[in-house]
């Protein structure tokens, strides 16, 4: 950087040479000052002064527009309109803004739903009765109704699925070893005991040979 | 809320004000920046790829990227320099995507840029080239009439996005000289344009 001339920070943040001639109120900026203003090479005070003048002077606004025309023709030729391009970019910017908004709203909604779900789950796990007291009762009742092993206070042997237990049907039921025990064997498949408790024996256990005559109770 | 300027005032506002307003979310200010710098960006893209194809799409992509990043712009450089770097990076990324060999020429070479401007009619489709022919020929004449140093100075600024201070450093000039030469060169071009309008 050539540091021989004093520099100052410009309005746009670049660097520029110190202005040599102040702009007076009502005075048209000269070509060089307007040129520097156009290129963003003016300092803060100069920028404010030129802008103030431009707001009031149509002639200088035309001069400024002329600089932009030269630039556009130099860089773009005549068949490229920077206005049309700016409009197209503006639409693209709006579309991008909408897309970002949709993404934000969707994310916010997803987070809200997730938070609600987690909160509900935690609350329910700690206080199940608050959310479904009747459901809990009905589940208990259903459990009792399904439990067919206890009926009328008596124990009943449930039917056994042969296939499920596999090979169990090959096991010969052992006849009572002692004919005169507390419980006696009946071909009908019933075993009676001293306490008159009746147990239903499944077919599996009934498939036995006829007991010997001497096994008959005396 | 971003500061909003009256629509009829946007074209006279200094670049710095527009950049700050755009960074704060004012879309109208950003569109004004696009209007002002569209030529620089487009010329840079065309010069980079030596082709006019997809230049407008890439311009749009560049400005969208600029819009996304404008809040990160630090005012220790000029906006045109920042935009030039951003465009350059996007062009390099695009080149990698396309898997092409990078062009040998660089926009940093003002003579290359000048050649690009002279050959503006050769880079388009025939119909488009025909439409541009008058302008392209006139531009070539105007550039050829310029002093070589003035032409380099102008192109370093207009297509290279360099600030006056950067041009002064590169060309070993005083910043005041850059300013006066830039003014003089533009006046010549302006006069040439007005003469051309009078004699179509």
A1, pLDDT greater than 50: no
What are the CA-CA distances from residue A41 to residues A33, A45, A159, B165, B177 (Å)?
Answer: 9, 12, 99, 9, 13
Q: For residue A157, give the 3-state DSSP assignment.
A: coil
Interface check A88 vs B, CB under 8 A = yes
Provide the CA B194 distance to its chain's centre, in angstroms. Answer: 22
| CA distance linking residue A189 with residue A173, whole number of Å | 12
Tell me, what's the pLDDT at A163? Answer: 62
Q: Which residue has the higher pLDDT, A84 or B155?
A: B155
R_g of chain B computed on alpha carbons: 18
Q: Which of A14, A47, A90 sits opposite B31 (nearest CB)?
A: A90
Q: Do residues B16 and A41 make contact, with C-beta atoms less than 8 angstroms apart?
A: no
* B3-16 pLDDT, tens digit each: 788 888 898 999 98
Closest CA to A74 of B151, B64, B95: B151
DSSP H helices in A127-176: 128-131, 133-146, 162-165
Residue in B with minimal Cα distance to A49 = B14
Q: Do B34 and A13 touch (CB under 8 A)?
A: no
Q: Which residue has the higher pLDDT, B2 or A100?
A: A100
* B137-194 pLDDT, tens digit each: 666 677 788 889 999 999 899 888 899 999 999 999 998 999 999 999 998 888 877 7
A73, pLDDT greater than 70: yes
Provide the CA A82 distance to its chain's centre, in angstroms. Answer: 43
Q: What is the ipTM of this complex?
A: 0.79
Question: Distance (Å) from the C-alpha of residue A111 to the closest C-alpha of chain B?
Answer: 25
Q: What percent of chain A has pLDDT over 70?
A: 46
Question: Which single residue is written with the structure tokens 């006279």?
Answer: B12
Average pLDDT, integer, range A107-125 = 87
* A32-58 pLDDT, tens digit each: 999 999 998 998 889 999 999 999 999
Question: DSSP labels for A50-100?
Answer: HHHHHHH-HHHHHHHHHHHHHHHHHHH-SS--HHHHHHHHHHHHHHHHHHH
* A121-159 pLDDT, tens digit each: 888 888 777 666 666 556 655 655 555 555 555 656 566
pTM: 0.61
DSSP H helices in A127-207: 128-131, 133-146, 162-165, 203-206
Tell me, what's the pLDDT at B191? Answer: 81
R_g of chain A computed on alpha carbons: 51
Q: Do A82 and B36 touch (CB under 8 A)?
A: yes
Q: Do residues A12 and A2 make contact, with C-beta atoms less than 8 angstroms apart?
A: no
**Average model confidence (pLDDT) across chain B:** 80
| CA distance linking residue A151 with residue A142, whole number of Å | 14
* B24-62 pLDDT, tens digit each: 989 999 999 999 999 889 988 988 888 888 888 899 999
């Amino acid at each position: 950087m050539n540091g021989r001339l004093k520099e100052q920070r410009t309005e746009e943040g670049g660097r520029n040479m110190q202005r040599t001639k102040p702009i007076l109120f009502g005075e048209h900026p000269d070509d060089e000052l307007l040129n520097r203003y156009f290129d963003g090479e003016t300092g803060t005070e100069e920028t404010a002064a030129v802008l103030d003048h431009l707001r009031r002077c149509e002639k200088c606004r035309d001069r400024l527009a002329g600089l932009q025309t030269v630039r556009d023709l130099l860089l773009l030729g005549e068949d490229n309109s920077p206005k049309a391009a700016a409009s197209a970019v503006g639409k693209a910017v709006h579309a991008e803004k909408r897309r970002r908004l949709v993404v934000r709203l969707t994310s916010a909604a997803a987070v809200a739903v997730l938070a609600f779900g987690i909160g509900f789950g935690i609350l329910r796990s700690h206080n199940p009765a608050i959310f479904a007291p009747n459901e809990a009762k009905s589940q208990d009742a259903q459990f009792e109704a399904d439990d067919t092993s206890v009926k009328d206070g008596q124990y009943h042997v449930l039917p056994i699925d042969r296939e499920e237990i596999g090979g169990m049907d090959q096991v010969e039921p052992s006849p009572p070893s002692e004919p005169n025990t507390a419980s006696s064997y009946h071909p009908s498949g019933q075993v009676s005991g001293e306490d008159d408790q009746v147990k239903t024996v499944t077919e599996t256990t009934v498939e036995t040979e006829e007991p010997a005559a001497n096994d008959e109770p005396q | 809320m971003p500061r909003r300027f009256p629509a009829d005032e946007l074209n006279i506002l200094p670049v710095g004000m527009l950049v700050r307003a755009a960074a704060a979310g004012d879309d109208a200010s950003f569109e004004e920046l696009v209007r002002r710098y569209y030529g620089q960006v487009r010329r840079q893209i065309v010069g980079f790829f030596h082709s006019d194809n997809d230049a407008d799409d890439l311009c749009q992509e560049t400005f969208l990227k600029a819009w996304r990043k404008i809040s990160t712009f630090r005012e220790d450089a000029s906006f045109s320099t920042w935009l030039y770097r951003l465009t350059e990076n996007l062009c390099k990324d695009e080149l990698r995507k396309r898997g092409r060999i990078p062009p040998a020429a660089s926009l940093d070479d003002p003579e290359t840029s000048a050649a690009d401007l002279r050959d503006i009619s050769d880079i388009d489709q025939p119909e488009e080239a025909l439409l541009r022919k008058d302008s392209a020929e006139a531009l070539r004449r105007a550039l050829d009439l310029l002093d070589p140093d003035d032409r380099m100075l102008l192109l370093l600024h207009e297509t290279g996005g360099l600030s006056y201070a950067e041009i002064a450093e590169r060309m070993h000039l005083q910043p005041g000289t850059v300013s006066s030469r830039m003014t003089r060169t533009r006046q010549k071009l302006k006069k040439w344009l007005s003469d051309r309008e009078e004699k179509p």
